[in-house]
A and B are shown apart, each in its own frame.
Chain A
Amino acid sequence: MSIVSRWLLAASALLLGGQSALADINMPVGVTPISKEVYGLHMMIFWICCVIGAVVFGVMFYSMFKHRKSKGAKPADFHESTTVEIIWTAVPLVILIAMAIPAAKTLIAMEDTSDAEVTVKVTGYQWKWHYEYLDSGISFFSSLHPDHNAARQKGSGVDVSQFDNYLKEVDNELVLPVGKKVRFLHTSSDVIHSWWVPALAVKKDAIPGFINENWALIEEPGVYRGNCTELCGRDHGFMPVVVRALPEAEYDAWVAENAPAPAITESTGAAATTAVAAVEEDADREWGLDELVAKGEGIYNTNCASCHQANGQGLPGAFPAITGSPVATGPIDAHINTVYVGVSGTTMASFANQLSDVDMAAVLTYQRNALGNSVGDTVQPSAIKALR
């Protein structure tokens, strides 16, 4: 749609009091009691500011048209009036108090995280989210959808307008129930992130060493999208949040299907439905070089390519290359250690909790035998399992 027609549409919607066409230029009303209150506050302040602006600019422009020298205006000489000064100090103060009272009420409600029925721990990673349902034990990572990830690379040649929700699609969505108070616990494993879903009016910083909390009660089923809003490094713009709100029965079914038997599953890329038993079995068997490399490529693109680049060349000075790297072509134990433990003082995080045994073995093998490297050895999932 052209800009002009959007403008016209937005203007007509404004006149008719419509909401839909304003979606691109105004705050969403949202689907929680808090988000609706916040929207109400936002519109209230907006209109108060409009009225103040209209009065102030009205007086000013009247004066500018009337009291100009070219119209023969003679300057008056009045100045200093205590009465006037008191009035224009007191009136704004009254307006402020009128704004502060409803704002304080909403703020108190926002901070009340008591009596939650579902608790989800949200952990920020560079550059993905990890969700852990504390009640049911379900946990998984959520990264930018692989198709979008491929399209957003510089020089990908992909027309991004073909995607319905470009950069706002993930591999694993956060599934939440409608009509239940959900409490979020926010923390981070590396730098500060911020988890934001506009439709829920939930935005909280994820800070390493801190656990922040807030909550949402979603009133309508649907898919709600957001982003990381605290600059967190190179791919800050590419760690979306997608929440799928399901009616209670469907949510319960989803939980039943995905809840791990006794232990917690860790999974990336694939859907979180992988059965635990199958994972265990895979980790124990002997894997061939080719199948590890094949599996490793996708893991690499999701977890490593942001820094080390899809071609393994890295970014000189910032992120080392994998191709020809002394680590990736050197002793296998040091290579495993780099990925398993991380390198302190750098962006290189520990992937021990981020990747399963098989995934880590696959990506290590991929790094040693692809991207221009050909060491020829394999890292077996059992070797990773033995480290844990």
Chain B
Amino acid sequence: MSAASAEHHDHDDHHGPAPGLTRWLYTTNHKDIGTLYLLFSLLMFFIGGGMALIIRAELFQPGLQLVDPLFFNSMTTMHALVMIFGVVMPAFVGLANWMIPMMIGAPDMALPRLNNWSFWIMPFAFTLLLSTLFMEGGGPAGGWTLYAPLSLQGGDSFAFVIFSIHFMGISSVMGSINIVATIFNMRAPGMTLMKMPLFVWTWLITAFLLIAVMPVLAGAVTMLLTDRFFDTSFFSAAGGGDPVMYQHIFWFFGHPEVYILILPAFGIVSSIIPTFARKPLFGYASMVYATASIAFLSFIVWAHHMFTVGMPLAGEMFFMFATMMISVPTGVKVFNWIATMWRGSMTFETPMLFAVGFLVMFTIGGLSGLMLAITPADIQYHDTYFVVAHFHYVLVPGAIYSIMAATYYWLPKWTGNMYDEKWGKIHFWVSTIFLNVLFFPMHFVGLAGMPRRIPDYSMQFADWNAVATIGAFGFGFSQLIFVYVVFKCMKGGEKATDEVWEGADGLEWTVPSPAPYHTFETPPPIR
């Protein structure tokens, strides 16, 4: 933050930020890189959101009004790739950059140059990806899962998509190595693993998941690349390959990826709820163990995305039972958050509102996830809007709300100014109302039989699709309030205290607001 750097020339001027644009290009400072990640994520949020609005506009009425079906498919594909790899993951990495060193009493990330590189790969990766939309034949249109053989039918732009996924993977793996190295090596003396804030714990586990599965994705898409351009037949049945193998490999990456998108959110909510309940987290140790259990289980449930591909009965049984098991540690987490709130002394500032919104709506998404685990029922739900409703409930009020909550929670620490509480609350309520108008009806049309990824539908689905589209535009435009609040706060406002929140606990609240360019150059004492 420029405001942050300007204020702290008193003791840091010997190596403060470089002037001008080169500061951002050459920076190795964890706070600068965190800011870059977060702003990048915000930009991508609006690009991915714009794609979602094209999808919803076409689905407003039955019949094809606006786009060609091929372009529609490319919008659903790109929307997912941008939101997953361009919004949620970079935002979490940005938060990790900003907060992990400050939470464990470290002066910076362990590998600052690697940190710079892992961010600056991202704009190139997404330029490659988004440029395919302007190439002959259009962007990828086979779904973000890139299932072979369909994805192999695309135009030559497919190579750009593959390379951009490689870049994103490299960036994620480097970022994760950095986070693991930081957490293991840079903790202040006395900061034992079981004293770390839960955000640090959940990110440590997430980083291991990323290191484990991103190479798997890279392998899968490389095989697609050689199948498409070098006449191999990994996934082509005519050449002796196996199209189902692609799905197994993809979802071996894909299911842990789902938890990569939600575990840091658990950490954020576990930080915010105790602050605003003014009461310590109910079961710290059990939260750590529950996170680790979820991470372990995420490796053995991948084929629940594939119950219709024709697995042996024993396989279907195994994946059904394993999937149902995930609800146990997830339940432990939800119960822990509620027990933390119980008999607390709660106030509902914007971060808490988003955390409670997370808790309620993530639980709704979790419950529909439990329904999806029941294989015979899943066969009816599979690839319908019921699934779309489910994963949007866990990703939007789940992952996205946690990122919003984190932003409001730590923004005063980053900028030194309080954000506009009134507009923050308006942002929450408007978003939450429209979000439910948008996603809740998807349960209905899905159960009634509307498949996903279709540009046109039967009359029976018309009413609820119109409702969802209204919700989509409302939700999309209400995010402009967020941008307004954030930039207003960056420019000025009521000065924040060091502690910011009355019930806040943790090392990040012991440093001045805004946080100096360099914090904890000497390790803080740990109680």
Q: Are A234 and B237 in contact (CB under 8 A)?
A: no
Could you tell me the dominant secondary structure of chain B's interface residues? Answer: helix
Q: Are B341 and A167 in contact (CB under 8 A)?
A: no
Residues A208 and B137 in contact in the complex (CB < 8 Å), given A26-B448, A104-B317, A154-B68? no
How many Å lie between the Cα of A378 and that of B56 in the bound state? 46
Q: Is B375 engaged at the interface, CB distance under 8 Å to the other chain?
A: yes
Residues A317 and B463 in contact in the complex (CB < 8 Å), given A49-B370, A203-B382, A237-B451? no
| Cβ-defined partner of A234 (8 Å) among B141, B328, B332 | B141
| B residues in contact with A70, CB < 8 Å | 347
Contact with A along B417-459 (1 / 0, CB 8 A): 0000000000000000000000000011101110111111111
Residues A191 and B382 in contact in the complex (CB < 8 Å), given A89-B328, A107-B320? no
Q: Are B150 and A315 in contact (CB under 8 A)?
A: no
Q: Are A238 and B456 in contact (CB under 8 A)?
A: yes
Q: Are A63 and B343 in contact (CB under 8 A)?
A: yes
Q: Are A42 and B137 in contact (CB under 8 A)?
A: no
Q: Are B153 and A49 in contact (CB under 8 A)?
A: no
Q: Are A237 and B69 in contact (CB under 8 A)?
A: yes
| A residues in contact with B457, CB < 8 Å | 167, 237
| A residues in contact with B456, CB < 8 Å | 152, 167, 237-238
Q: Are B377 and A194 in contact (CB under 8 A)?
A: no
How many Å lie between the Cα of A103 and that of B373 in the bound state? 10
Residue of A41, A57, A231 with most chain B CB atoms under a 10 A cut-off: A231
Interface residues of B in 392-416 (CB under 8 A from A): none
| B residues in contact with A364, CB < 8 Å | none
Q: Are B310 and A212 in contact (CB under 8 A)?
A: yes
Q: Which of A12-20, A72-80, A248-256 contacts B (4 or more CB under 8 A)?
A: A72-80
Contact with B along A2-21 (1 / 0, CB 8 A): 01001000000000000000
Contact with B along A225-259 (1 / 0, CB 8 A): 01111111111111000000000000000000000
Q: Are A347 and B376 in contact (CB under 8 A)?
A: no
Q: Is B467 engaged at the interface, CB distance under 8 Å to the other chain?
A: yes
Q: Which of A91-99, A260-268, A290-298 contacts B (4 or more CB under 8 A)?
A: A91-99
Q: Are B345 and A75 in contact (CB under 8 A)?
A: yes
Q: Is A60 engaged at the interface, CB distance under 8 Å to the other chain?
A: yes
Q: Are A27 and B447 in contact (CB under 8 A)?
A: yes
Q: Is B190 engaged at the interface, CB distance under 8 Å to the other chain?
A: no
Contact with A along B137-166 (1 / 0, CB 8 A): 110011100010110110100000000000
| A residues in contact with B279, CB < 8 Å | 75-77, 79
| Cβ-defined partner of B317 (8 Å) among A59, A107, A229 | A107
| B residues in contact with A345, CB < 8 Å | 152
How many Å lie between the Cα of A56 and that of B242 in the bound state? 45
| B residues in contact with A93, CB < 8 Å | 328
Q: Are A168 and B458 in contact (CB under 8 A)?
A: yes
| A residues in contact with B343, CB < 8 Å | 63, 67, 73, 75-76, 78
How many Å lie between the Cα of A41 and that of B342 in the bound state? 34
List the B residue with the shortest CB-CB distance to A60: B338
Q: Are A229 and B325 in contact (CB under 8 A)?
A: no
Q: Is A318 engaged at the interface, CB distance under 8 Å to the other chain?
A: yes
| A residues in contact with B474, CB < 8 Å | none
Q: Is B21 engaged at the interface, CB distance under 8 Å to the other chain?
A: no
Contact with B along A151-168 (1 / 0, CB 8 A): 111111011110101111
Nearest Cβ in chain A — how far from B379, in angstroms? 5
Residues A3 and B320 in contact in the complex (CB < 8 Å), given A27-B447, A69-B347, A191-B150? no
Contact with B along A46-62 (1 / 0, CB 8 A): 10010011001101100
Q: Is A132 engaged at the interface, CB distance under 8 Å to the other chain?
A: no
Contact with A along B361-400 (1 / 0, CB 8 A): 0011001101100111101101110000000000000000
Q: Which of B41-49, B94-102, B281-289 contacts A (4 or more CB under 8 A)?
A: B281-289
Interface residues of B in 75-121 (CB under 8 A from A): none
Q: Are A234 and B367 in contact (CB under 8 A)?
A: no
Residue of A24, A70, A186 with most chain B CB atoms under a 10 A cut-off: A24
A-B contact pairs, 28 of them (CB 8 A): A23-B448, A45-B370, A45-B371, A49-B371, A68-B348, A69-B278, A75-B344, A76-B279, A79-B279, A80-B282, A80-B285, A88-B331, A89-B328, A151-B63, A159-B63, A163-B459, A167-B457, A198-B380, A209-B243, A230-B308, A231-B142, A231-B143, A234-B73, A235-B69, A236-B454, A315-B137, A317-B136, A345-B152
11 new A-B contacts at CB < 8 Å, known A85-B332, A160-B459: A24-B444, A53-B367, A56-B334, A64-B356, A80-B285, A152-B456, A194-B308, A209-B237, A233-B70, A317-B135, A317-B138
